[in-house]
Structure 1
Amino acid sequence: MKPIIAIISGLKRNKEEGVFEGELYSYITQEYVDAVEMCGGIPFLIPLQKKIEDVEKLLDVADGIILPGGNDIDPSFYHEKTRAECGEIFHEVDQLYLWAIELAEKLKKPLLAICKGHQMLNVAYGGTLYQDLHVQKENVIEHSQNQPRHLPFHKIQIKKDSILYDIFSDKTQVNSFHHQAIKDLSEDFEILAKSSDGIIEAVLKKEGNWMLGVQWHPEMMAATDEKMKAIFQLFINRCKKR
């Protein structure tokens, strides 16, 4: 049977002038849906929920969970004040992400976390973030590309004998769309990949439930890059084993 994959939705504010200016929409980019379908999963979207018990009822029917990219994370979740460089924050969405991580652990659901999701994994287990790389860290490379989203932008170094090494070997190139990143890594995770400036690009939970986080956007590359698609296939295969 095909595994059912829950994708946590974010919020997006309509910035176009007119009657619906400022309206909030639950959304996810179609590439996440396409990547899940390409790898043999059935995707369904979970919109913003206000009660953890309702989220649990929805996740109970899923075989795996995806935490996608999105807005900046509220620094209050890692006990810091918000810097001016932070972008728009949706506190309720961040809480939903944290609930999804907590419930993934409780319900033993494999979890794939991408970009913001990767950062939130670290926050959920006590880690911290750079609120803005170029302000808070010296000698960083550019991490927000202005070229087409499916194209690789910078190199990463991959840990030998890791699940990503099995896909990419020791190096690969990834796309990049972020200005925040993991700062202090939670002790619950091991590093699987870094960029040349030392930014953590991939992590895996050491014990307990299977949780993989990547800082780049493999969903944007999966349609044209078999190795990026293989990340989703790895995740879907874990979900099938349940």
Structure 2
Amino acid sequence: MPRPLIGISTYLNSASWGVWRDTPADLLPRRYAEFIQAGGGLVAMLPPDDHPDAAAEAVARLDGLIIAGGPDVAPARYGAVADPHTQTPTPDSLARDAWELALIHAALDRERPLLGICRGMQLLNVALGGDLTQHLPDLIGGSLEHSPTPGHYARHSVSAVDGTRTAAILGTDMLSVPTYHHQAVAALGRGLRPSAHADDGTVEAVEGDGPSFLLAVQWHPEQGDDARLTSALVHAAS
């Protein structure tokens, strides 16, 4: 049997390699590809494409989709004024917002298995009409455990909600997960339910309330060695 083809959205950034410096590039940290491969999937990178039918065409050829982590979602996408701590949108980040929202809607329309990671969870929530807490430390008393040091992943505990798909995959015991985020979901989007929480109450996973595989986590599973989430995605994509 061929491996299921799992598409994953990419970063838009300047990068340097070899003799090239500060060259516009479509980027994906290697750990994402390893994460998909560890679950038995074949990787396809999905850089932004502004053709009006590109997202639908791409998703039609995929067996599953991951929306990767990245910069803050533009607050205008969920009708909010930017908080001072929110990253200022750039042309690249705005293009990525538009592309990934189109991918999400295409995946929902076709009922393709979808896993959101960090920003991917936040963008899924926004796509379904929810909004975001723009700076989590302001909400939970200044705690920095979700992203204490710029450029370095932290770890904290999460527990899945009994009876959810997330719990069926990960169990309900407390898990220590790699994390790096300062924002989080606030009002939930249509058809989503919380499926895991941090000790401080932060929603750390959401999932769809229907039979299709629709799941997103606020942490970065690709930075750990637990392949259960990607195995579940690949199994659903099979």
- What is the TM-score when the length of structure 2 is the normalising length? 0.89
Q: Name the counterpart of 1:83.
A: 83
- Shift in alpha-carbon separation, 1:105–1:164, aligned structure 2, 3 A: closer
Gaps of at least 5 residues in structure 2 are none
1:53 aligned partner, one-letter code: D
Answer yes or no: is 1:25 the counterpart of 2:25: yes
Alignment of 1:86-101 (within 5 A): 86-89=86-89, 90-101=93-104
> What is the CA distance between 1:51 and its match in structure 2?
2.3
| Alignment check: 8 A CA contact 2:165 2:207 kept | no
Aligned to 1:225: none
Shift, 1:209, TM fit: 3.8
Partner of 2:127: 124
Relative to 1, partners in 2 of residues 1:148 and 1:47: Cα closer, same or farther, differing over 3 Å? closer
Structure 1 residue 204: Cα displacement: 0.5
- By how many angstroms is 1:148 displaced? 9.8
Shift of 1:142: 1.8
Shift of 1:179: 0.6
Q: Which structure 2 residues correspond to residues 87-236 of structure 1 after superposition, within 5 A?
A: 87-89=87-89, 90-138=93-141, 140-146=143-149, 153-166=155-168, 167-207=170-210, 209-222=212-225, 228-236=226-234
Please say if residues 149 and 220 of structure 1, whose CA atoms lie closer than 8 Å, have aligned partners that are also in contact.
no
Q: CA deviation at 1:208?
A: 6.0
The two structures have a TM-score, normalised by structure 1, of 0.87
Aligned partners of 1:40, 1:171: CA distance in 2, in Å?
26
Q: Does 1:55 align with 2:58?
A: no
Deviations 1:92-111 (A, max 9, x none): 10111110110001122100
Shift of 1:201: 0.2
Q: Structure 1 vs Structure 2: percent identity of aligned residues?
A: 26
Task: Give the distance between the partners of 2:133 and 2:79, measured in 1 at CA.
Answer: 13
The one-character-per-residue Cα deviations of 1:159-192 (angstroms, maximum 9, x if unpaired) are 1122332323332111110011111112411111
Question: Equivalent residue of 2:175, what SS?
Answer: strand
1:79 Cα deviation from its structure 2 partner = 0.4
Deviation at 1:219, TM superposition (A): 0.7
- Higher mean C-alpha displacement, 180-189 vs 117-126: 180-189
Aligned pairs, number: 232
> 1:71: how far off?
0.8
Q: Once the 2 structures are TM-superposed, how far is the Cα of residue 141 of structure 1 from its aligned partner? A: 5.0
* Alpha-carbon separation, structure 2, partners of 1:208 and 1:162: 11
Aligned residue number for residue 37 of structure 1: 37
Read off the aligned partner of 2:178 and give its amino acid letter: N
Q: Do 1:104 and 1:110's aligned partners in 2 also have CA atoms closer than 8 Å? A: yes
> Which segments of 5 or more consecutive residues in structure 1 lack a partner in the other structure?
223-227
Q: What's the Cα RMSD here?
A: 2.4
Superposed displacement of residue 20, structure 1: 4.0
Measured in 1, the distance between the counterparts of 2:199 and 2:144 equals 8
TM superposition shift of 1:55: 2.2
